[in-house]
Structure 1
Amino acid sequence: MQRIELTEVVDLIYAAALDEGASWQDLGDKLMTLMAAQRATLWMNDEEDVPGNLLMRTDSYDDEYASRYVVLDPYRSAARGVSLEETVRRRGDVRLGHEIIPDVSYVNSEFYADFGSRSSRRYMIGGLISMSKVIPLGLHRDAASKPFSEDDRRKLSLLLPHLQRALQMRDRLAPVAPGLGAGALDVLPIGVIVVDREMRVLHTNAAAAALLLDSQSGLSTAHHRLARGTSKPTLFARHPDDHAQLCRLVIAASRGSAGGGMQIRARPGALPDGSATLSALVGPALRHLTSSSQPNMGTSVFHGAATVLVRHLLGPSTPPVKLLLDLFGLSRSEAEVAIALAGGVTAEHVAHTRCVSLDTVRSQIRSVLRKTSASGLRDLERIIALCSTMHVAAAGPLFPVEMPPKAVTRRRTV
């Protein structure tokens, strides 16, 4: 029975993240039922870029928390001290409240005395999700309940990696959400490949098909003869070590794991240094990506299969200036500054390279943050990254491909 409940929650995680047949509140309700909790908290920007607790319908406690008590929350204060790098190392690490803040300190805190005691926040269990910033997930019980147990830790530790992977997939597939379907995937500039646990290809979008046809790419397919004389293309990485790692991730995701990420090297000899040219994110397969006959059945995990999202590492990584002008109404100078900042340079460097004053650049940064509704430079980087996925580059293939000579057409002169 417990296995069925966990499977239902995993399905809801991916459905909520991709807005396919379930809401964040549906996921929160299921999590609270599974964990016997009275509150669930995941504070993020929603689809309209408005910050809030996605896992519960807004009530007076959430309003109070956002307006006053968020700065007093000792658990959130502890989360702010954890770096993104540490969060990645602690992937799937779930902690009980007293392991984060000593129980005596929490009970005697101003936060609990004034707010937590009346908002069902006596006991807590949670973990951290690493996106463009560290995002804490928390489940809470009131004083009349029992503390969270090691069994609760085990359940949440199985679900936390799925939530992380679903949010990553949401960011990469965002340009065609909501209503994401197999046909809509063809507009994406990233490759989407659905395979079974034996690496047999079940579906590819247009970008993946082009990538697999590139003879220099680190990924390709081979046809293996099956029973009754049929054949099925099988996905493989050209570098043996990459192929072994890819197979491990696919098998794990097809068996219920959240999968993982990796880099894939080019075909041996294609580049002098043998560097990686592709980034792959492997996660569970979503049912609506594998079934074109039932487009409205909603999202759930298709067990026994995995989704491989692939993008070029050496291709264009920033959107064109004109796209930012059209989307946000930026001036050309503001758009160029936004792209430069997303590339990791400082305001001082931008001012130096553009031969303008630092005050001018800072004024442009304030204007960019206002027009894009970004909460800060980290959020701006996320917005620029999403805009990059909306742009299909016209620069041609990553590697030169030999083409047959074209017939020469002579222009007639009069």
Structure 2
Amino acid sequence: MHRVEADLGYHRFIGARIELDARRTLLVALYGSSLSEFDPQTDTLLADTLPHLAQSLTLGEDFSEMAQLQQLCGGALDAVAFGLVICTPEGMVRFANRAATKAMDGSHLLIAGDLLHVENRQDRVRLDQLLAGSSGPKTMTMRFGLGDRALDVVAFSDQKLAGARILLVSRPSALHSMSYDALCQIYGMTPAEAALATALATGQSIAEFAENRGVSISTVRTQMRQVLAKTGTKGQPDLVRQIWTSAIAACYRLTS
């Protein structure tokens, strides 16, 4: 090693070390053709510079870890069914998951660029009130628009996200479906029974389901008894409640 350094013209050096953590040490070496190139000022410069180099390394690693964590959290929030938006009190959007982007697309409350946007002055006033009034422990809810373009918003804040507002958004007109496979796996349903449970949970009646499937109501009622037995529920309202409070509902797929 000394011969290689000599061939490169590095005959003398001074060095320093600093512990980054319990497992890592930063070593710094300044090379020169002779020791006469180094003086006490060089020692001082090296001693003053070393902590800054160490801090730069650890900060870079911290930022990298933060970026990885942000990507991980964003991916996880994209997997959930409800729409979530994080914004400033002024309406600047910092994050919106996939469900929020889909629900707000074409709705009365939009994300235009990086800002929340409404179409008229009256709703602008309401949006400002929503964002201003949802500070601290207070939660506010509003509906923006009518018909197919309506969007329901629940706004609140959290002390862990200083200066931010958290918006949960949903499109009342959206059609939802659930995974038949998940219902089959959790409750041991057949595909036909899972289809019935999903239909009832998303608003269909037994008669509508029978008509859509081209089967008799008596057949559907038989399937219904099996569904209730397998889920341990007492009736249709209890079945719907159980499905929508389960983890399955958190991962339903928006179909429109």
TM-score, normalised by the number of residues in structure 1: 0.37
Cα distance per residue 1:49-106 (max 9 Å; x no partner) = xxxxxxxxxxxxxxxxxxxxxxxxxxxxxxxxxxxxxxxxxxxxxxxxxxxxxxxxxx
1:219 matched to 2:219: no
Contact 1:189 1:392 in 2 (8 A): yes
1:260 matched to 2:120: no
Report the Cα offset of residue 351 of structure 1.
5.0
Contact 2:108 2:151 in 1 (8 A): no
Cα distance per residue 1:103-122 (max 9 Å; x no partner) = xxxxxxxxxxxxxxxxxxxx
Matches within 5 A, 1:226-375: 233-262=114-143, 264-265=144-145, 275-287=147-159, 290=161, 302=162, 304-347=163-206, 350-351=209-210, 354-358=214-218, 360-375=219-234
Matches within 5 A, 1:75-224: 184-209=76-101, 214=105, 216-221=106-111
Structure 1: distance between partners of 2:211 and 2:99: 38
2:108 partner amino acid: G
Structure 1: distance between partners of 2:195 and 2:180: 7
Report the Cα offset of residue 279 of structure 1.
3.0
TM-score, normalised by the number of residues in structure 2: 0.55
Q: Which runs of 5+ in 1 are unaligned?
A: 1-179, 224-232, 266-273, 291-301, 399-414
Structure 1: distance between partners of 2:215 and 2:208: 10
What RMSD, in angstroms, separates the aligned Cα atoms of the two structures?
3.4
Change in Cα spacing, 1:277 to 1:327, as seen in structure 2 (3 Å) is farther
SS of residue paired to 1:378: helix
Structure 1: distance between partners of 2:193 and 2:81: 25
Change in Cα spacing, 1:321 to 1:309, as seen in structure 2 (3 Å) is same
Report the Cα offset of residue 238 of structure 1.
3.0
Report the Cα offset of residue 210 of structure 1.
5.9
May I ask how many residue pairs the two structures share in their alignment?
182
Change in Cα spacing, 1:379 to 1:306, as seen in structure 2 (3 Å) is farther
| Aligned equivalent of 1:392 | 253
Report the Cα offset of residue 307 of structure 1.
1.4
2:89 partner amino acid: R
Matches within 5 A, 1:68-79: none
Structure 1: distance between partners of 2:96 and 2:178: 24
Change in Cα spacing, 1:217 to 1:279, as seen in structure 2 (3 Å) is closer
1:390 partner amino acid: C
Higher-Rg member (1/2): 2
Contact 1:182 1:205 in 2 (8 A): yes
SS of residue paired to 1:193: strand
Change in Cα spacing, 1:209 to 1:392, as seen in structure 2 (3 Å) is same
Structure 1: distance between partners of 2:142 and 2:175: 20
Contact 2:80 2:250 in 1 (8 A): yes
Percent identity between the two aligned chains: 27
Change in Cα spacing, 1:344 to 1:312, as seen in structure 2 (3 Å) is closer
SS of residue paired to 2:165: strand
Structure 2: distance between partners of 1:384 and 1:341: 10
Change in Cα spacing, 1:381 to 1:240, as seen in structure 2 (3 Å) is farther
Contact 2:206 2:217 in 1 (8 A): no
SS of residue paired to 1:254: coil
